Amino acid sequence: RRVTRAGGALALGPTEYRILLHLMRNPRRVFSRAEILAAAWDDRIHVEERTVDVHIRRLRMALNATGGADLIRTVRSSGYMLDDGKVD
């Protein structure tokens, strides 16, 4: 599994990869922390919802290391989404 942006390889941990994959499958859809938890973690493991914030921050850092625009949007009181850059 490899992730690249602007021609450069990104170093992602397995959890960040699963979150990115989930967001990429549903661009521009807002996911709550609970939905991201369900998509990225085994349901037999108890993980606090705020843990998602830590992994989103790591994912953002990796994606933005190339200097491109921030692709992950925080939707206040709702969750996170992948912004594909299209204008409505």
Tens digits of per-residue pLDDT, 10-50?
889 999 999 999 999 998 999 999 999 999 988 777 888 88
Q: Is 32 helix (H, G, I), strand (E, B) or coil?
A: coil
pLDDT class of 87 with cuts at 50, 70, 90: low
Token pair, residue 64, equals 């933005």
Could you give phi then psi for residue 68, rounded to 5 degrees? Answer: -75, 175
pLDDT, residue 29, reads 94
Domain layout of the chain by residue ranges: 4-82
- Name the fold adopted by 4-82: Arc Repressor Mutant, subunit A (1.10.10)
* Tokens 């830590």, located at residue: 54
pLDDT, residue 42, reads 82
pTM: 0.87
Q: What residue ranges in 1-88 does DSSP mark as E strands?
A: 4-5, 8-9, 72-75, 79-82
Give pLDDT tens digits for 66-84: 777 889 999 998 999 998 6
Q: Using CA atoms, how far apart are residues 44 and 4, in angstroms rounded to an integer? A: 31
